Amino acid sequence: MIIIPSLFTATTFLAVHRFIINFTDLPYSNELHHPYSKQFIRTSRQISDALQAILATLPGQFNISILNYRYQPVIGTLVTIEVTSRKAQPKLRKIIEKAIRTGYIGGYGVGFDGFQYYTFKGQ
């Protein structure tokens, strides 16, 4: 499921975990630059579903949003992903990093080049 970030999300959830992950074999096209294009929606749904499966071991409810795709000629397509939850999930980063170490998220090849992680906590 693709969740478009909204004011509701910002006020309902207290922790926002933002990742930038390198999807090494995801071919970039201009359609991935447009959030309402068929390719953006289809690819985002596939990545979101794969992440839901990876995070299934964590307690609580999560919303996963694919914010954007950026092409980097040397390393591949960088995907900015936001995971929101009602409370901070300290194990979340380790689970994502473990998935990256396996080399795949869903059917997509992934790598650590360009990887970034941020956590924002609500009041």
| Per-residue pLDDT reduced to its tens digit, 109-122 | 999 999 999 998 76
Q: Which helix (H) or strand (E) holds 66?
A: strand 62-72
Instruction: Convert the pLDDT of each residue in 61-111 to its tens digit.
Output: 899 999 999 999 999 999 999 999 988 888 999 999 999 999 999 999 999
DSSP 15-49: EEEEEEEEETT----GGGGSTTSHHHHHHHHHHHH
Q: What is the pLDDT of residue 27?
A: 94
Domain boundaries, the chain: 12-121
Q: For the domain covering 12-121, report its CATH number.
A: 3.30.70.960
